A and B are shown apart, each in its own frame.
Chain A
Amino acid sequence: MGRHPNIEVLTYTEVDSVEGEAGDFKVTLIKKPRYIIESKCTGCTTCVEYCPVKYPDQYNQEISDNKAVHVYFAQAIPLITYIDESCLYLKEKKCRICEAVCKNNAIDFNQKLEKVEVNVGAIILSSGLEPFDPKVKEEYRYGQFVNVVTSMDYERLLCATGPYQGEILRASDMKHPHKVAWLQCVGSRRVTPGENSYCSAVCCTYTQKQVILTKEHDAEAECTVFHNDIRSYGKDFERFYERAENLPGVRFFRSYVSIVKENPETQSVTIRYSTPDEGVKEEEFDMVVLSVGLNPPADVQGLANKFGIELNAHGFCKAIPSNPMETTRPGIFVSGAFQGPTDIPESVFTASAAGSQCGELLDYRRGELSKERIYPPERDVSQEEPRIGVFVCHCGANIGRIVGVPSTVEYALTLPNVVYAQEQLFSCATNSAQQISDLTKEKGLNRVVIAACSPRTLEPLFRDTLREAGINQYYLDMANIREHCSWVHAKEKEEATQKAKDIIRMSVARVCRLKPLQEFDLPVNKTALVVGGGIAGMTCALSIAKQGHEVYLVEKDADLGGTARRIHSTLDGMDVQAYLRDLVRKIYQHPLIHVYTDATIPEATGYVGNFVTKVKSDRGVTEIKHGAAVIAIGADEYKPTEYLYGKDDRVMTNLELEEQIAQGEERVMNAQSLVMIQCVGCRNEDRNYCARICCSNSVKNALKLKEINPRMDITILFRDMRTYGFSEDYYREASNKDVKFIRYEPQDKPQVEAVEEEGRRILRVTVTDYILGKKLAIDADLLSLAAAVIPSAGNKEMSLLFKVSLGPDDWFKEAHVKLRPVEFGTDGVYLCGIAHYPKHIPEAINQAYGAAGRVLTLLSHDTVTASGSVCEVDEDKCISCGACITVCTYGAIEFYDTPQGRKATVNPVLCKGDGLCNSVCPTAAISLKHFADEELLSQIDAAVGDF
């Protein structure tokens, strides 16, 4: 971020006013005085040490103190200090110690508010959220009982950079709490004054995370979660929930609770909760965590006025379902939690999505103002002895709590060729990376080992750090002492430390042998291929095309539209069919979009920037060359085998019901009684995930039916109502319209039988109501099953064609569930819509624009850099057996004629560096650079050698 040439970061700055219109906004910014000259401050924090003023630290939720002059937090960007209003000089014109101690003369008390005007073409509001403040309701005892904390407070307690360095301590006695309770829906799902009626969407899962982390901190901890529904509706959340629930000493109770009293001696907190069979119970906990919900950003009305945008009834940004990124003022877009309570992946892809919409608006000026990054020249170190620097990362407490980091640093210094070693709290923080780069120059290092996490996420950052230091980026090795060590040996601290030393020793051995490699630029074909012509695929295709790129849109059916053709409305009132018609029209009208229907893909080859895909349709086989591919092939509906589905025509799925409602089918319109059963075909052993959309869809259908026929009895049988976010309002509305909701447990599923009573043919649904302690027999004319959304049958084939992977439930697997949610690990291939995971239409639209935004980050460039870690053939050893050619899935190897005969040769552009060929070559003639035999063998020798 801090290194990007096209991004100017203005911190401690607020927007004062916005004038103008889309394409030409004049924005006045107010830069608050830091009283620090940014260019002079090195972040050395000498001033912080000497500052005499202590005041509660906002970043640490005011649990611990900080100084009047301080760095906002340890990994802050920019990593410089600021002085806030608690400063003695600012208040009383006294002190000025900081000025005296600063060696760089960076303190400047004469700084004033500074107005800066900027001209921009578009604005993205990513104003985020504000955690709910439980002080608005006395009953939560926050601020009154010292051991009642919010989940944000707890987050800081868990964290190594937190108030107690990652120790979970009670402020009352500085002891570890043993029994901890989490109270869900604090500030959410409640119509009581001061609280929010919507569901905050993230608290259930963050609570489970906190439970798991608490158990990691203290395996004996007893954790209890009080809730009314567990909403694990996101990708992989259900498994995560199970993981938390199955930990020893972890209990989940269905009850909202009341905080009753504080033990005057121990300051422990008694809470009272309700059970269906044993009445109300009281229990004392050492600490109570309020799982607070999400509010709109602070002073949201002021914000709305400033930007001239409208808000919805809950104070979030008003958006239309068909384009959730669009505000009511053209040229101003919204992303992240300001759209509504949302989790991190959505915050990330709505950002890319808003970016794509800016791109549509400003395509004409793309590239005019941007610059390229410039690196220092690379130092030739080939003649030098290896001089290795080892940096051991604490990763907050992730590594540091288990592995004795200081001793591994000491150990590293004893290893051959290691000339420098040190520990770092977060090696990936800007200052740490800067430090690595500076020390590399200062100490004349020519190899670097980072002992931290898996190279998967952060290797690019550290390679970049080496480039900054003028060292070839392949002189880096990451010793994975987190995933391979601290995470799997949490209970064996000593052994873990020993293993970390072993891993570092191996890395050091390897890094000595590494060779400098050169990367090279590949041309980028500016065309995109979008596979799947549903709402997601079409939306994505259109956004890419609007930014000047040709798009091939491939659909397997005869018509565009996908699953949405069966959906008629959304909960928030979108007319899906009208939207769809309009979208299809735009697709066909766009000159840059080429549509292939009834089409299949028999073959896809190539690599990022240079794919070649064959499309078979009634036009024959077309070969498409494209730089990027988007997978948006949708999903299927589960065909139930339970509850008489297929045996009795009165039993249907939710989608079938929706179609029949739309068609005005008489037996539906005139039904006296209709029952819906949730979680059919998922949240079970076969499909261990929640299909996310069914609760809201059932509520939607129920409301629609009630609108048509208010006398109809509608009963929804559910396990947890998962109407997350604003949909909670519709759940309440359904209750208000007399829709009945009955909870059932998976081990006691509803029973359905077809019976005839008094001449009326009915479906009798029997279900246990756990509050009544009785079975309820409900006579229904129709039964609708919330059949799960299941991965498309075509996923496997598609994953092989485009060399992308599938997750445990056969959904396409994104590169990183949080941070790279719309792209694959395979470069140049992107993902959106329900092929990724079930989602509502507005969410699919968000994600489709998000994928388009990411595609544009590729297609906007003429070249893309390819890895230097590719295979090469030692022709002297090659016996031209062709085994390597057969095994290569990328077609990267071929024969060519040499004076010595036919030899294999690798096309480095196609080689993905998977090393398959290495293993089949009988003469070891082919090797993978950066993973050459001597490099790996030296590592293995170091592992088994007698150290």
Chain B
Amino acid sequence: MEKELEKIEDQVRKSLADNLRKGFADRNFGDVLVVGGGISGIQAALDLGAAGFKVYLVEKAPSIGGHMAQLDKTFPTNDCSM
């Protein structure tokens, strides 16, 4: 009985993995590639994402944010840049 349960669990796990892999394959099709994860790239990605497109956002640094993420505040409102 227990073994059968384990088998079922195994199968479930396998099919989950299959689905994941499929997901991985799907993931290589998108609508727009945005190169650069600064303020402009982020805005472009957000807009396109909201307008019904699948977007890849590629950033060469380890984080998105670009130069704006290095700024303390922005003028004239002195809002923080983050």
CB neighbors of A among B37-82 (8 A): 37-80, 82
B12 at the interface (CB under 8 A from A): no
B52 contact from A152, A426, A860, Cβ within 8 A: A860
State the interface size on chain B (CB cutoff 8 A).
55
Instruction: Name B48's closest neighbour in chain A (CB-CB).
Output: A355
CB A139 to nearest CB in B, in angstroms, measures 25
Point out the residue from B32, B59, B72 that lies within 8 Å of A122, measured CB to CB: B32
The A-B contact count (CB < 8 A) is: 265
Q: Is A937 an interface residue (CB 8 A)?
A: no
Residues of B within 8 A of A152 (CB): 67, 70
Taking a contact as CB atoms under 8 Å apart, the answer to whether A76 and B74 are in contact is no
Mostly, the B contact residues are: mixed
In the assembled complex, A817 has its CB within 8 A of some CB on chain B: yes
Do A72 and B36 contact each other (CB < 8 Å), given the known contacts A155-B71, A359-B51? Answer: no
Contacts A82-B62, A129-B67, A358-B32 given; 7 further ones with Cβ under 8 A? A124-B34, A126-B41, A351-B42, A355-B51, A369-B30, A396-B82, A487-B78
Per the CB 8 Å criterion, the residue count for chain A at the interface is: 100
Instruction: Tell me which of A120, A212, A335 contacts B44 (CB under 8 A).
Output: A335
Q: Are A355 and B47 in contact (CB under 8 A)?
A: yes
Confirm or deny: A54 has a beta carbon within 8 angstroms of a beta carbon on chain B. Answer: no
B16 → A minimal CB distance (Å): 15
The answer to whether A72 and B61 touch across the interface, beta carbons within 8 angstroms, is yes
**Contact of B53 with A12 in the complex, beta carbons under 8 Å:** no
Tell me the smallest distance from the CB of A831 to a CB of chain B, in Å.
16
Q: How far is the CA of A337 from the CA of B38 in the complex (A)?
A: 10
Across-interface contacts of A122 in B (CB, < 8 A): 31-33
The reply on A15 being an interface residue by CB < 8 A is yes
Q: Are B36 and A125 in contact (CB under 8 A)?
A: yes
Report yes or no: A123 in contact with B35, Cβ–Cβ below 8 A. Answer: yes
Task: Name the residue of chain B whose CB is nearest to the CB of A342.
Answer: B40
B22 at the interface (CB under 8 A from A): no
Q: Is the CB of B74 within 8 A of A351?
A: no
A208 near B75 with CB under 8 A, answer: yes
Contacts of A817 in B (CB 8 A): 76-77
CB < 8 Å neighbour of B30 from A77, A119, A240, A359 = A119
Q: Which residue of chain B has its CB nearest to the CB of A123?
A: B33
Min distance, Cβ B43 to any Cβ of chain A, angstroms: 4
A131 to B66, CA, bound (A): 12
Do A213 and B72 form a contact, CB below 8 Å, given A7-B55, A9-B37, A366-B51? yes
In the assembled complex, how far is the CB of residue B80 from the closest CB belonging to chain A, in whole angstroms?
6
Bound Cα distance A213, B66 (Å): 22
Residue on A nearest B54 in the bound complex, by CB? A369
Q: Out of B64, B71, B78, B80, which one reaches A11, CB within 8 Å? A: B64
Contact: A128 with B40, CB < 8 Å?
yes
- A351 and B48 CA atoms in complex are apart in Å by 10
A370/B36 in contact, CB under 8 A: no
Q: Chain A residues near B29 (CB, 8 Å)?
A: 118-119, 369
Select which of A13, A121, A236 is within 8 A of B58 by beta carbon.
A13
The 4 A-B residue pairs whose C-beta atoms are closest, nearest first, are: A336-B40, A76-B63, A126-B41, A351-B43
B53 to chain A, nearest CB (A): 6
Q: B25: shortest Cβ distance to chain A, in Å?
A: 11
CA distance A4 to B62 in the complex (A): 19
Whether B62 and A11, one on each chain, are in contact in the complex, defined by CB atoms closer than 8 angstroms, is yes
A457 adjacent to B79 (CB under 8 Å): yes
Cβ contacts A to B, 10 pairs, < 8 Å? A4-B45, A10-B58, A15-B33, A121-B32, A129-B67, A159-B71, A366-B51, A369-B30, A370-B53, A487-B78
The residue that B40 contacts in the complex, of A61, A126, A160, with Cβ under 8 A, is A126
Cβ < 8 Å to B, chain A residues 327-364: 335-338, 344, 347-348, 350-352, 354-355, 358-359, 362
> Binding site of A, secondary structure by majority: helix, strand, loop or mixed?
mixed
Which residue in B53, B73, B75, B80 is a CB contact (below 8 Å) of A205? B75
**Chain A positions within 8 Å of B64 at CB level:** 1, 9, 11, 77
Which residues of chain A in 827-886 are interfacial with respect to chain B, using CB atoms and an 8 Å cutoff? 853-854, 856-857, 860-861
Give the shortest distance, in Å, between A108 (CB) and chain B (any CB): 15
User: Which residues of A sit under 8 angstroms from B40, Cβ to Cβ?
Assistant: 126, 128, 335-337, 347-348, 350-351
Considering only residues 6-39 of chain B, those with a C-beta below 8 Å from chain A are 27-39
- A624: Cβ under 8 A from any B Cβ: no
Q: How far is the CA of A581 from the CA of B37 in the complex (A)?
A: 38
- With both beta carbons as reference points, the residue of chain A lying nearest to B43 in the complex is identified as A351
Contacts of A407 in B (CB 8 A): none
Assuming the contacts A129-B67, A369-B53, asked whether A358 and B31 have C-beta atoms less than 8 A apart, the reply is yes
When each residue 61-103 of chain A gets 1 if its CB lies under 8 Å from chain B and 0 otherwise, what string results? 1000000000111011110001000000000000000000000
> In the assembled complex, how far is the CB of residue B31 from the closest CB belonging to chain A, in whole angstroms?
5
Q: Of B34, B39, B51, which is within 8 A of A860 by CB?
A: B51
**What chain A residues lie within 8 Å of B43 (beta carbons)?**
335, 347-348, 351-352, 355
When the two chains form their complex, are residues B80 and A398 in contact, meaning their CB atoms are under 8 A apart?
yes
Instruction: Please tell me if the beta carbons of B63 and A11 are within 8 angstroms of each other in the complex.
Output: yes
Partner of B82 from A129, A162, A426 at Cβ < 8 Å: A426
**A306: min CB distance to chain B, Å:** 10
Determine how close the nearest CB of chain A comes to the CB of B75; give it in whole angstroms. Answer: 4
Q: Tell whether A59 is near chain B: CB-to-CB under 8 Å.
A: yes
Q: Are B77 and A359 in contact (CB under 8 A)?
A: no
The distance in angstroms between the C-alpha atoms of A10 and B67, with both chains bound, is 17
Contact of B77 among A358, A818, A854 (CB under 8 A): A818
Residues of B within 8 A of A860 (CB): 50-52
Q: How far is the CA of A6 from the CA of B36 in the complex (A)?
A: 17
A129 to B64, CA, bound (A): 14
Chain A residues lying within 8 Å of B58, measured Cβ to Cβ, are 10, 13-15, 29
Are the C-beta atoms of B38 and A126 separated by less than 8 Å?
A: yes
With A and B bound together, what is the CA distance between A1 and B54 in angstroms? 13
Contacts of A366 in B (CB 8 A): 31, 51-53
In the assembled complex, A395 has its CB within 8 A of some CB on chain B: yes
Contact residues, A235-267 vs B (CB, 8 A): 236-237, 239-240
In the complex, which of the residues A124, A208, A857 contacts B33, with contact meaning CB atoms closer than 8 Å?
A124
Choose among A4, A76, A397 the residue that contacts B49 (Cβ–Cβ < 8 A).
A4
List, in ascending order, chain A residues with CB within 8 A of B65's CB. 73, 75-77
Q: Which residues of A contact B36 (CB under 8 A)?
A: 125-128, 297, 336, 338
Say whether A588 faces chain B, with CB atoms less than 8 Å apart: no
Shortest Cβ gap from A132 to chain B (Å) = 12
